[in-house]
Amino acid sequence: MADQDQLNLNDYFIKLKKTEAEELAQALAQSLGLKYFDLELRKPAPDILRLIPEADSRELKIAPIKKEAGVLIVGVYNPDDLKVKNYLEKLKQAGYRLEVGIISLNSLESVWPVYHFSQSKSVKYLETLEISPEKLLAAIEGVKTIAEIKSKIETSTESNPFDILDYVLAGAFIFGASDIHFEPEEDRVNLKFRIDGILYQVAEIPLKVYRLIKNRIKLAAGMFLDVSDRAQDGRFAINLKDDLLDVRVSVVPGIHAETIVMRILNVKSVLLNLNELGFRPDDLELVKTTIKLPNGLILNTGPTGSGKTTTLYSILNMLKRPEIKIVTIEDPVEYQLEGISQTQVNVREGYTFANGLRSALRQDPDVILVGEVRDHDTAETAIQAALTGHLVLSTLHTNNSLGAMPRLIELGVDKTLIPPSLRLIVAQRLVRKVCPRCRQEYRPDQKIVERIKLSLADLGPVVKSSLDLEKIKLVKAVGCDYCLKTGYKGRIGVFEFIKITPAVEKIIYGEMTEADLLAQIKKEGFVSLQQDAIIKILLGVTTIDEVERVTGPIVSN
């Protein structure tokens, strides 16, 4: 145990030393009126590193960072060093327009391992390592099925292992995978795609070949190539015609080799129109009416991966206008939205959700998105913002909409402030849609019909009148090449809403119980998550099996 304590203490001092180094670099930059850069967070691209040789970088403690709008941004450790000044002057004489920023020595040292690939190897080898849109587009044209991806990977294993990553990324793009998993075992690595929330085995890669793929991924994501005993995070972006793919990379140590998960974020997949999310007409009208209000709090609840970010971003996209100031505080910023001021939580620098929200309020916003309400300070500040003329959107981790208000009270929010600030609570999940190419209609047996009718028995008259419960037809998932033999293609949201009406407010002010609240909202037409999912079964959007997988068994006598 003492050895473990010593390791933890060593890690603490290493982190403390790094933090102090970055703080000194920031202070120096501020005193000189220069920008500060942390190269561990923002690794230079390999083609940029070629502009200053590794030997010069090590001797002068200098590094190129990026080139934009014809200006080369250079990070220096000591801008007063005469040799550094002379070197920068030579760069200017060579035709470079320069912008100088300050970096710490620790930050600079994190870049030097990347030189191993960017300069000590041939340009041809480097270009093989780089992930280019041209190569990916060619790979996309060359594969149409999982079987073809597997075949290309097996062929490349023998001929050119560096092509494997291109086919992996191409396959993930073609099939709309949200994540790519490399899972090492003793003699091989399992490659899996997460598609519509489900993991699928794609191929097996020899462990010796995986090392080359791993280095290529780490290089693209700006990670240490020579570090394998601790976790690393990075990212890179790829422009594919009309699609911008943002790839988040997580690498963690493993028994046999490092495990890698790559999350694929496509802006197109999140900026959906509200009509595309899966709202019923009455729910869509409720959302549109609520977001037109000048102030108030809207909470979206559900577990990780339930589509909360997509829903909130779609709302922001609908609200976005030149005359509306929108500010976000996120952890992390998953998608960059044009026309919106986005900020990212940085706990190390003291920029938490609560501090970020207080800072955002000084920016005179009309609408604020807070990534998550997870503590008392954030909850209290969000409610105060909603009470003082701002529309606030946020998420809360509860199992359903009914749990939102008890959760706020658990966080220490004054119960009397909830009714005047809270406008709407949303709970949601995602269910897979039946493949449109192989779906089959069928007449269910009487037992299933009775279960469906029993589940929908307490629906309000408005929703129930839109359904035909006398001639029920359902669809089944069959499977074809288009849907990878699963029978499903794509996902859609299922929702439940609690509108804060005067009657609901009265219950909150009193001795609130979930039973009392449920009884009241049912009187007002409440539709539960599972009921909304069952309605989508009746509409031929999904299947009973899928709904039960996501929401639990449908009731039976």
Q: Are residues 485 and 540 in the same domain?
A: yes
- Claim to verify: residue 16 and residue 141 sit in the same structural domain: no
Q: Does 476 reside within a domain?
A: yes
SS3 annotation, 478-541? CCCHHHCCCCEEEEEEEEEEEECCHHHHHHHHCCCCHHHHHHHHHHCCCCCHHHHHHHHHHCCC
Tokens describing residue 256: 């046999």
Domain of 363? 271-551
For the chain, how many structural domains are there in total? 3
Q: Where is the domain boundary, 266, 301, 322? A: 266
- Crossing angle of helices 529-538 and 544-551, in 10° steps, is 170
Residue 531's CATH number: 3.40.50.300
pLDDT of residue 263: 94
On whether both 194 and 235 belong to a single domain, the answer is yes
Do residues 321 and 391 share a domain? yes
Domain assignment present for 126: no
One domain, residues 23 and 67: yes
Whether residue 219 sits in one domain with residue 142:
yes
Q: Are residues 292 and 244 in the same domain?
A: no
Using the 3D structure, point to which of 78, 102, 121 is the last residue of a domain. Answer: 121
- Among residues 90, 121, 152, the one where a domain terminates is 121
Q: Which CATH number characterizes residue 196's domain?
A: 3.30.450.90
Could you give the residue ranges of the DSSP H alpha helices within 364-513? Answer: 376-387, 404-410, 418-421, 446-455, 461-464, 502-509
Instruction: Tell me whether residue 539 is in a domain.
Output: yes
Whether residue 556 lies inside any domain: the answer is no
Q: Is residue 352 part of a domain?
A: yes
Q: Are 414 and 503 within one domain? A: yes
**Across the 557 residues of the chain, what is the mean pLDDT of every consecutive 10-residue run?**
51 66 87 86 74 88 81 90 91 82 89 63 42 76 83 81 86 91 94 94 91 85 79 82 82 93 83 88 96 96 91 93 93 82 82 89 94 94 95 94 94 94 97 96 94 93 89 93 90 97 93 89 95 97 96 78
Nearest alpha carbon to residue 214 among 237, 238, 182, 186: 182
CATH for 9: 3.30.300.160
374 in the same domain as 499: yes
Q: Are residues 482 and 337 in the same domain?
A: yes
In this structure, the answer to whether residues 261 and 342 fall within a common structural domain is no
Distances (CA, A) of 24 to 42, 75, 79: 18, 15, 14
Short-list 22, 210, 201, 238, CA closest to 109: 22
DSSP 45-109: PHHHHTTS-HHHHHHHTEEEEEEETTEEEEEES-TT-HHHHHHHHHHHHTT-EEEEEE--HHHHH
Please check whether residue 140 lies inside any domain of the structure. Answer: yes
Sole residue written with tokens 């020899």: 206
pLDDT for the residue 119:
46
Q: What are the phi and psi torsion angles at 290 (to 5°)?
A: -70, -40
Tokens 């620098």 belong to residue? 349
What confidence score (pLDDT) does residue 123 get?
Answer: 38
252 in the same domain as 199: yes
Query: Residue 166: what residue type?
Result: D
**Is position 301 within any domain?**
yes
Q: At what angle do helices 133-142 and 164-174 cross, to 10 degrees?
A: 70
Kindly state the DSSP code that residue 279 receives in the 8-state scheme. Answer: -
Which residues contact residue 354 at a Cβ distance below 8 angstroms, ignoring those fewer than 6 apart?
375, 377, 378, 381
pLDDT of 14 reads 59
Specify the DSSP class assigned to residue 119.
T
